[in-house]
Structure 1
Amino acid sequence: MECPLPLRTSGRRRRTHHPMTTTSLPDTWTGPTTNQLIDSATDAGLIVCWISPRHPRQAAYAHAGGIIWLRRDLTDAEARSLLAHELGHCYYGDDGPQPPDIEARAWRWAARLLITDGAYAMAERQVGPSVPGLAEHLHVTSEAVAAYQSILRRVA
């Protein structure tokens, strides 16, 4: 898989922000925006590339090249969640497709990055325990909410 975007401009990595991202955080959720995650990844030496909506996978991470691919047709909540998930794979040194337990570990890492205890508690008070409702309220995917709930179950 090749990155379709130029990766360097004047000796510096080009920041490739998501076209559908919000520039500020709504009052209902906390955590980094998609663009803040992209900036952090780029600052850490990773390359974030936007790929064709026709690609069969929504996102991927190649550890050897330090590259994260995200499909251009993702919503901001999807891009934010999937980017955090792929950063989890980076954190753990995972490379390529992973078994379910490793995927779950990356989702828990992403959930801890994107969802604070206070934001989750407030969202649950406002929308109840529905995973899709919580995901919409917290501006993440259902996978991130389910991973956060699994963290809560482990602590309880």
Structure 2
Amino acid sequence: MIVQDLYDFAAAMGLTIEWWPLKKRNGEYRHDLKRIRLRHGMTERLIRWTLAHELGHAAFGDQPSYFGPASAKMERRASEWAALRLINLDAYREAEMLRDGHLASMAHDLGVALECVEVYQSLLLRLGDVTYLDPKMGAGQWAFRCEVA
């Protein structure tokens, strides 16, 4: 997804996006206000990652929690949602081969933040000669299955 696609997605959800001088975070989502705030001065790759992450919070209707495990789960879920939308499996496979698995180079080639590639990799499961994308418990439950040599 390019940044305009993310803006279009936000508009379709009825969200407003504001640029704000955030001090400690790159972005924040407020469910009650249907608003995403992004920090001034980020790179294009970081803007894409942060906006997609905050859209993940919006997609799940996340609200702030002071309970650490609940917050951690919401953050992980929003990051996974964002990574699955920003990285195409074929593009990832090509970048991984071309860059021999070097994460920073792969992130640059894919046009995303380094954290996005790390999260995407956490969604891959390699068993023998097969790689699964977003595997779940139970037979036949995965987003994609690929035979590798």
TM-score scaled to structure 2, two decimals? 0.76
Aligned to 2:7: 38
Bigger strand share: 2
Structure 2: segments with no counterpart, 5+ residues: 126-133, 136-144
The counterpart of 2:24, out of the listed 56, 61, 78, is: 56
Q: Distance in 2 between matches of 1:111 and 1:121?
A: 14
Which whole-Å CA distance do the structure 2 matches of 1:96 and 1:69 have between them?
A: 15
Give the conservation status (yes or no) of the 8 Å contact 2:107–2:114.
yes
Structure scoring higher RCO (CA < 8 A, sep ≥ 6) equals 1
Structure of larger gyration radius:
2
Which residue pairs with 2:16 in the alignment?
Answer: 47
Matched, 1:76 2:44: yes
Aligned-pair distance for 1:134? 1.4
CA distance in 1, matches of 2:33, 2:100: 42
Query: Do 2:92 and 2:110's aligned partners in 1 also have CA atoms closer than 8 Å?
Result: yes
Whether the 8 Å CA contact 1:59–1:82 is kept in 2: the answer is yes
- 2:64 corresponds in structure 1 to 96
- Does the 8 A contact of 1:61 with 1:96 survive in 2? no
- Distance in 2 (CA, whole Å) between partners of 1:99 and 1:143 is 18
Question: How big is each residue's C-alpha offset from its partner over 1:117-156, in whole Å with a ceiling of 9 and x where there is no partner?
Answer: 1010011111121222211111111211111111112538
Question: Which segments of 5 or more consecutive residues in structure 1 lack a partner in the other structure?
Answer: 1-31
TM-superposed CA distance for 1:108, in Å, is 0.6
Q: What's the secondary structure of 1:50's corresponding residue?
A: strand
Give the alignment's Cα RMSD to 1 decimal: 1.7
| % identical aligned pairs | 35
Alignment partners' CA distance in 2, 1:137 and 1:96: 33
Equivalent-residue separation in structure 2 for 1:48 and 1:83 (angstroms): 9
When the two structures are superposed, what TM-score results if normalisation uses the length of structure 1? 0.73
Which stretches of structure 1, 4 residues or longer, exceed 3 Å deviation after superposition? none
Q: What are the within-5 Å matches in structure 2 for residues 13-28 of structure 1?
A: none
Q: CA deviation at 1:100?
A: 2.2
Residue number in structure 2 paired with 1:137: 109
Rounded to whole Å, the distance in 2 between the matches of 1:81 and 1:114 is 8
Whether 1:126 and 2:98 are equivalent positions in the alignment is yes
